[in-house]
């Protein structure tokens, strides 16, 4: 399955930071801030979101949020998949993108 190009376009429109870059990863398209992955339009459908691992359990209670699974194994803590059907609301998409961006911005710069 290919990533949702319409979702990727909607994410692109929300990312105004000049340090934002795009990179094909994991069969989808990742959006990086200062070299750190923030979110990605996933090849599994929906949006992969990188966030503080300490917040992940709490955010799993949000509509559409699921643990991220890579292949048959759970991904590292701090990665969630948000189902695409819950991202049709622009405010919901914006909130998830902002969470990913905030976390990426909080990480030390890449060498």
**Contacts with 65 (C-beta within 8 Å, 6 or more apart), sequence order:** 59, 80, 81, 82
Domain-by-domain residue ranges, the chain?
A: 5-106
Contacts for 57-62: CB closer than 8 Å, 24+ residues apart:
59/99
**Contacts with 69 (C-beta within 8 Å, 6 or more apart), sequence order:** 44, 75, 81
Over its length of 111 residues, how does the chain's per-residue pLDDT go in tens digits?
A: 578 899 999 999 999 888 899 999 878 899 999 899 999 998 878 999 999 999 988 999 999 999 887 666 666 788 899 999 999 999 999 999 999 999 999 998 777
Place of tokens 């909607």: 10
| CATH number, domain 5-106 | 3.90.1150.30
């Amino acid at each position: 399955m290919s990533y949702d190009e319409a979702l990727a376009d909607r994410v692109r429109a929300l990312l105004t930071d000049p340090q934002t870059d795009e990179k094909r990863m994991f069969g989808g398209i990742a959006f990086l801030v200062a070299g750190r992955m923030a979110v990605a339009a996933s090849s599994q459908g929906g949006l992969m979101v990188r966030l503080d691992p300490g917040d992940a359990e709490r955010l799993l209670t949000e509509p559409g949020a699921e643990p991220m699974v890579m292949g048959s194994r759970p991904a590292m803590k701090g990665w969630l998949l948000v189902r695409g059907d819950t991202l049709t609301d622009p405010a919901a998409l914006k909130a998830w993108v902002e969470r990913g961006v905030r976390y990426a911005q909080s990480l030390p710069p890449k060498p």
